[in-house]
Amino acid sequence: MEQWRYIVTDAMSPAMNMAVDEAILQMHSEGKVPPTVRFYTWDPATLSIGYFQKAMKEINLEEVKRQGLGFVRRATGGRAVLHDQELTYSVIVSEEHPRMPSGVTEAYKIISLGLLHGFQNLGLEAEMVSLASEEEKEKYSSPGSSACFDSPSWYELVVEGKKVAGSAQTRQKGVILQHGSILLDMDVELLFSLLHFPSDRVKQRMMDSFRQKAVTVNEVSPRPVSLQEAIEAFSKGFATGLEVELVPSTLTDEEMALAEELAKTRYGTDEWNLRR
C-alpha cells in the first residue's frame, strides 16, 4: 500500500498555519516530500477569509481585534471561517497522482471521502451531498452571508441534512492543496459579530438560516468528542478514503524555514490580508 506522510502540528499562529500548508505544497512540487495529510489547530482562535473576499467590506476588523482573534486570508477560495473549537485538516498531493481525477470537483470528492469515513468513525450518520440536481441545490441553498458553512458546495459533508465540514481547494505548481474545518463546537454569535451586515434584521435572518444549515460534531454526537479523538478518527478516515497508509512524521527543516519566511513576508502582512 502506498505510504503518505501524516503530520499533526502544534497550535500555530494564523500566518504560520497558512504558511506551513504552502511550504508543504512547494516542497511536494519539488519532489522533496511525499503526499501529506496534516491536522492542526490555531492560537489564537482565528477568522480566516477566502482568497477572493473583500476584507474591509465584509469583515468587522475592529471586532476581530477587540475579541483578541487572529485574522488571515487563505490561498484558497470560499468564505469566512472561525477557527476556534475545531480540527483543521490539509491534504497536499500532486495533480498527477493516479488517485486524483483532473477535475476539481471530482478530486474534491476523492479527498472528501476521508472526511466521510472520519465522521463515520465517530459514529455519525454522515453523507456526501452531490448538488447535481436542481432539487438538491434548492434544498441546500442559502441567502448567502460572508460566512462559510452557510450552504454545502459540491460533495460537501452533511449530518442530519446539515453541513458539518467546510473545505476549499487551490492548485499551484501542479499540486492540489485542499484544507478545511471539522467543527467540534461553534460560537455562532461570535462568528456573526465579526461580519458586516446591512442591518441587524438581516444579520438575525442570516444567523437563523445559518443555524438551520450548519451543525457541529458535538451537536449531533451522542457523547462529547475530544480533539484527540477527532484526530484519531479522521486520520483513520483519510487512510481508508484515500486507500493509503499514513506514516506519522514531522515537517522538514526546509519546510519550517520556508514557512517562517512565508509567514513573515505574506500571511502576516496587511498587503496580503487586506489586499481586497
Instruction: Work out the angle at residue 105's Cα, subtended by the Cα atoms of residues 101 and 109, and round it to the nearest 5 degrees.
Output: 75
User: What does pLDDT average to over the chain?
Assistant: 92
Active site residue 26: no
Residue 107, Cβ density class (10 Å: 0-12 exposed, 13-18 middle, ≥19 buried): buried
SS3 at position 137: helix
pLDDT attached to residue 135: 60
Domains of the chain and CATH, by start: 3-271 (3.30.930.10)
For 24-54, b/e burial (b = at least 16 CB within 10 A) is: bbbbbbeeebbbbbbbbbbeebbbbbbeebe
What are the C-alpha distances in Å from 38 to residues 2, 167, 220, 231, 251? Answer: 17, 14, 25, 10, 10
CA 230 to centroid of chain Cα atoms = 15
The model's pLDDT over 71-110, given as tens digits with 9 standing for 90+, comes to: 999 999 989 999 999 999 999 999 999 999 988 888 989 9
Task: Summarize the chain as % helix, strand, coil (round to 5).
Answer: 40, 25, 35
The DSSP H or E segment spanning 253 is: helix 253-262
Q: Which of 145, 141, 270, 142 is nearest to 195 (CA)?
A: 145
pLDDT attached to residue 130: 74
Catalytic residue among 49, 91, 115, 148: 148
What are the C-alpha distances in Å from 95 to residues 99, 173, 244? Answer: 9, 9, 16
Q: Which of 94, 156, 167 is nearest to 131 (CA)?
A: 156
pLDDT in tens, the chain (276 residues): 999 999 999 999 999 999 999 999 999 999 999 999 999 999 999 999 999 999 999 999 999 999 999 999 999 998 999 999 999 999 999 999 999 998 888 898 999 999 999 999 999 999 988 765 556 555 555 445 555 544 445 677 899 889 888 899 999 999 999 999 999 999 999 999 999 999 999 999 999 999 998 999 999 999 999 999 999 999 999 999 999 999 999 999 999 999 999 999 999 999 999 998
**If you ran DSSP here, which 8-state letter would residue 6 be given?**
E
The Cα–Cα gap between 165 and 33 comes to 27
Can you read off the three cell numbers belonging to residue 45? 482562535
Instruction: Work out the angle at residue 89's Cα, subtended by the Cα atoms of residues 127 and 130, and round it to the nearest 5 degrees.
Output: 25
The model's pLDDT over 263-274, given as tens digits with 9 standing for 90+, comes to: 999 999 999 999
Residue pointed to by grid coordinates 504552502: 22
pLDDT attached to residue 150: 45
Q: Is beta strand 3-8 parallel, antiparallel or unpaired with respect to 36-40? A: parallel
pLDDT attached to residue 236: 98
Q: Which of 81, 83, 95, 79 is nearest to 145 (CA)?
A: 79
Q: Quote the crossing angle between the two packed helices 227-242 and 104-121, to the nearest 10°.
A: 130
Reported pTM: 0.92
pLDDT attached to residue 138: 58
Residues 6+ apart with CB under 8 A from 38: 6, 7, 8, 9, 20, 21, 24, 89, 90, 91, 92
Can you read off the three cell numbers belonging to residue 146? 460572508
Can you read off the three cell numbers belonging to residue 24? 508543504
Q: How many CB atoms within 10 Å of residue 263?
A: 23
